[in-house]
Amino acid sequence: MKKSQFKLMLSGCILGASLLATSCQKQSASFVDPAKFDTTIDGKKTGLYFLKNEQGTTAAITNFGGRLVSFAIQDKNGDFKDVVLGFDNIESYIKVPSDFGASIGRYANRIDSAWYVLNGDTVRLEPNDRPNSLHGGFRGWQYKIYSVKETTPNSITLVYNSPDGDGKFPGNVTATVKYTLDNDNALEIDYTATTDKPTVINMTNHSYFNLNGDPNTPINNCHLYINSDTYTPINDHMIPTGEIAPVAGTAFDLNKMEEIGKKIDDFSDAQVKTGNGFDHNWCLKTYKNGDEKAICASLYSPVTGILLDVYTNEPGIQCYSGNFLNGTVTGKKGIVYKKHAGICLETQKYPNSPNMPEWPSATLNPGETYHSYCKFAFSVK
């Protein structure tokens, strides 16, 4: 080969690599169109914001509900996959009741019979889940417009000022959610909150993950690990019975990677039958051991090779296996979301903690700062 031919070939390879990198960056961001998220609600503007890293991984976030709309990452074949459920336009988020990707507040999960007692006073909430209060009531923070406080190429900080009586919860609360995407494909979420009256706070992210990269393929084939020896069984109204039960000998023992379908379809386990799958809280050993740098849960798809490791400072993780997705909701790319199209891994306080004084407290007092931390660390195996 002549020297000139080699130089030409090398130049072509460099140009091709450059174009491929540019193409990957565009592809990773093109799962959702930011123009479809520009609107005004109650005088407040909504938009779509992209966080990108050196690998082309992209997180798309809207300030409507502080939601993670898309997370695009390369699979084992180098193809970008969007691994979270949601909609590709703001109108669907507004019109279709959902928790897809949301920053939940004031209180994630259920509060029994929609009331609790705090400092001797009974606080009565909105019963929006049969007799219970769920995810902050009828208009929880997943339907609120967060203000965009700060953006960088790899982070966004959102703020919501929740007035006294919001969802019938007491106290003016200022809540902050910060998303940060690092170059190792970890999405960190930091929550803080302050209040001017005693109240309860329990924030989480409600993303539905499908690491297959295609919601037409349910998560049954994925493998799940939860670092826990105990969980909180539920009654027929999905409220914890108060028992802290061992997972040993039950479908809830996930101390080694298990295929999810073998667990969530095991209706011989009375608790799986009650939840119509997994809709339960595991008590995390990472909290008990005071080690938030240890993995509390892992999710893996053998189809894409994508692995998700979860870290948190919270005492519990609610695993919800998309049991009530029933084909009535059409998401991104026109895909109809059917049962088990996605799985949620919500780091949080235990459900109904305001009524369980022996459990880790969700109370926030004036002068205190609530802080919750979650990291979704993605890799490919």
pLDDT digits (tens, 9 = 90+) for 132-159: 999 999 999 999 999 999 999 999 999 9
Cα 231 from Cα 280, distance rounded (Å) = 7
Range 28-200: architecture per CATH? Distorted Sandwich (2.70)
Residues 312-323 have pLDDT tens digits of 999 999 999 999
Both tokens assigned to 204: 């989480």
13 has pLDDT over 80:
no
Residues 155-172 have pLDDT tens digits of 999 999 999 999 999 999
Helices (H), the chain: 3-29, 90-95, 260-264, 270-275, 285-288
Catalytic one of 135, 206, 223, 340: 206
Residues 229-238 have pLDDT tens digits of 999 999 999 9
The full set of domain ranges for the chain reads 28-200, 216-357
- Please tell me the number of Cα atoms within 13 Å of 153 on its side-chain side: 7
| Identical fold, 28-200 and 216-357 | yes
Q: How confident is the model at residue 5 (pLDDT cuts 50, 70, 90)?
A: very low
16 has pLDDT over 50:
no
Residues 30-48 have pLDDT tens digits of 699 999 999 999 899 999 9
Residues 180-205 have pLDDT tens digits of 999 999 999 999 999 999 999 999 99
Cα 324 from Cα 21, distance rounded (Å) = 39
Residue 26 falls in which region: left (phi positive, over 0), alpha (psi -120 to 50) or beta: alpha
Q: How confident is the model at residue 9 (pLDDT cuts 50, 70, 90)?
A: very low
Q: Average of pLDDT values for 326-342?
A: 97
* Domain spanning 216-357: CATH 3.40.50.300: no
What's the farthest any 2 CA atoms get from each other in the chain? Answer: 88
Q: Average of pLDDT values for 320-335?
A: 97
Evaluated on CA atoms 74, 183, 206, 27, the torsion sign reads: negative
pLDDT at 82: 98
Cα 260 from Cα 278, distance rounded (Å) = 10
Q: Is residue 206 annotated as a catalytic residue, yes or no?
A: yes
pLDDT at 30: 61
pLDDT at 11: 39
Catalytic one of 135, 223, 280, 346: 346
Residue 263 falls in which region: left (phi positive, over 0), alpha (psi -120 to 50) or beta: alpha
When the pLDDT of each residue in the chain is averaged and rounded to a whole number, the result is 93
